[in-house]
Structures are given as structure tokens and as C-alpha cells.
Amino acid sequence: MAAPTTSGTVAFKLDILQICEEAYERAGTEMRTGYDLRSARRSLELMMLDWVNRGLNLWTVTETTLDLVAGTKTYTLADDCIDVLDAVVRTDVGDATQTDFNLTRLSVSTYAQTSNKNTESRPTSYYVDRQNRATVTLYPEPNDSTQDFVYWYVRRIEDLGATNTNNMDMPERFVPAMIAGLAFNIALKRPELEARLPILKDLYEEAYELAASEDRTKASLVFTPLQEFIDVQL
């Protein structure tokens, strides 16, 4: 018996316009006007910001490096940085003796109570100031300009952009959750769809949890960072 014929491709993707159309249909209505599309795009952008608050999305974890400057303790982080997950100081960069030294994250109160913030040595800890543009302050203050600050951070999900044929900045496994969430948000704006809100919300939460659980690391042993920071006197 001959094997069934399949496409042999895995290229299926929905662009932003198709995502919005599908979400309107799931909400129980149609996207008929330019305003409907603009409204859906706005809801999508807001939902991506909400996803940042829902937890760690592995595809947004990024590694980058800052060159340390002796006598400089505060540095501006990447412009899309939301928060720092982990960090090291790297010495002997590029050599066979290259070594990473783990850093401890400090709370604002612990860093504020540090008596001499101008102490110079290899940094052992850091404090993140999460403003509109995040910064990191190292303690002790670096004393060697040949060392690097290497950090892993959660970045913002990219904007939709001006073109409706763009794809979303996320793995395909999250697209069903995104469409379910957009359908729920569209229904929130339509009084005539109020009766559909409970089921749309349940479908959204179920789809998001399914995608988020699949997005977790598959390592044999996982260390989950505590939400509270070490608060010790220095």
C-alpha cells in the first residue's frame, strides 16, 4: 500500500491581517472596516505587553555583553531590556583561561545601605534600576577595563510594525493563544458579544497555559530564580 502523499513543507504562517481576521471570526463577528483592523492591532500590542507580565517567555531571553570601564559602576542596558535574569563578570576574555564569575543581584535597599559604593575591585554583585531605560550598577566598582559584564535579559516582544503582512515576533506554538486572546479582547469591545465573553476567556487562558507550559526549559534540573532579592548588609 502506497504511503499517503503529504505536502513535505512546514511553512504555514499567519500574517497580522490574517490573525485579526481569524480573531474576529472566533469572537463571532466580522472585520469590516479600517477602524476594526486598527482596533484589533491596538489590542494585539496591548496584549503583548500583558504577556510580559504573565511570566518568562523563553524566546525573549537574550544574551549580550557590556565592556567594563575601570572606575565606572553604572551602565545602560539594552534598550529592549525589561529585566535581567542572570549575570556574570567575564575575565581573560577570549583566552584559554577565560572565566565567568557569578554575580549576586541586590535589592534597592541593600545597595542603598552599602557604606562605600566607590570601592574598586572585581564586581561581585549588581543592582538593576528598571526605569524606562534600565540601568545596572555594579558593586564593587570595576577596577579592570579588560573585563566584560555578560547578562541574560528578558526583552520586549517586538511591535507589529506598520505593515499588515508582517509576522508576529513569537514561535508558532503561541499563535493559537494569541488569536484566542485577541478574540476575547475584541469581544470586550462589543456589547453584543457579551454573552460569549466567558467561553472566549476560558479558551484564551487554556491556550496560553498550554503554550507557556510547552515553552518551559526541558533541562533535567531547573533552578527557578526567587522573586525576592538577597538583602544583606555589605
Task: Say what the pLDDT of residue 209 is.
Answer: 93
- Residue 225: pLDDT over 70: no
Tens digit of pLDDT for each residue in 9-47?
A: 988 899 999 999 999 999 999 999 999 999 999 999 999
Give residue-wise pLDDT tens across range 165-222.
888 988 899 999 999 999 999 999 999 999 999 999 999 999 999 998 887 755 554 4
pLDDT of the residue at 132: 82
pLDDT value of residue 227: 45
**Short-list 143, 126, 137, CA closest to 71:** 143
Q: What is the pLDDT of residue 11?
A: 84
Both 106 and 134 in a single domain?
A: yes
Among 31, 4, 7, residue whose Cα is nearest residue 17: 31
| Amino acid 10: pLDDT | 87
At residue 68 the predicted structure's pLDDT band, cuts being 50, 70 and 90, is very high
Do 92 and 135 have their domain in common?
A: yes
Q: Is residue 5 part of a domain?
A: no
In a domain, 47, yes or no: yes
Give the Å distances, CA to CA, from 161 to 25, 43, 63.
23, 14, 24
User: What is the per-residue pLDDT for 167?
Assistant: 86
Whether residues 148 and 66 fall in one domain: yes
| pLDDT value for 226 | 47
Report how far residue 13's alpha carbon sits from residue 189's, in angstroms, rounded to the nearest whole number.
Answer: 27
* 3-state SS, residue 195: helix
54 to each of 83, 168, 198, 217, how far by Cα in Å? 14, 18, 20, 17
Q: What is the pLDDT of residue 152?
A: 97
| DSSP code at position 164 | T
Same domain, 165 and 131: no
In a domain, 7, yes or no: no
pLDDT > 70: percent of the chain: 92
Could you give the CA distance from residue 76 to residue 135 in angstroms, rounded to a whole number?
4
**3-class secondary structure, 211:** helix
Helices (H), 31-149: 34-54, 108-112
- The rounded distance, in Å, linking the Cα atoms of 49 and 159 is 10
The residue among 125, 155, 185 that closes a domain is 155
Is 1 inside a domain boundary?
Answer: no
Please give the residue range of the domain that contains residue 51: 16-56+158-214
Residue 228 included in any domain: no
Please indicate, yes or no, whether residues 119 and 67 belong to a single structural domain of this protein. Answer: yes
Band the pLDDT of 234: cuts 50, 70, 90.
Answer: very low
39 shares its domain with 97: no
Write down the pLDDT at residue 228.
47
pLDDT for residue 52 is more than 60: yes
Q: Are residues 115 and 200 in the same domain?
A: no
Q: Which residue, of 88, 121, 155, is where some domain finishes? A: 155
Same domain, 92 and 129: yes
Q: Which residues contact 111 (CB under 8 A, 6 or more apart)?
A: 117, 127, 137, 139
| Overall domain count for the chain | 2
Answer yes or no: is 133 within a domain: yes
Do 35 and 64 belong together in one domain? Answer: no
Does residue 67 lie within any of the structural domains?
yes
The answer to the question of residue 220 being in a domain is no
Confidence of residue 65 (pLDDT cuts 50, 70, 90): very high
Is the pLDDT score of 83 beyond 70? yes
What are the φ/ψ torsions at residue 88 (nearest 5 degrees)?
A: -140, 160
What does the alpha-carbon distance between residue 20 and residue 22 come to, in Å, rounded to a whole number?
5
Residues 75 and 37 in one domain: no
Type of residue at 230: I
Q: What is the pLDDT of residue 57?
A: 84
Q: Is 157 strand, coil or helix?
A: coil
Residue 19 and residue 44 in contact, taking contact as beta carbons nearer than 8 Å: yes
Looking at residue 15, its pLDDT comes to 94
Between 4-8, 12-16, 136-140, 200-204, the lowest mean confidence (pLDDT) is in 4-8
Are residues 76 and 116 located together in one domain of the fold?
A: yes
pLDDT for res 220: 52
Tell me which of 132, 155, 178 is where a domain ends. Answer: 155
Together in a domain, 189 and 166: yes
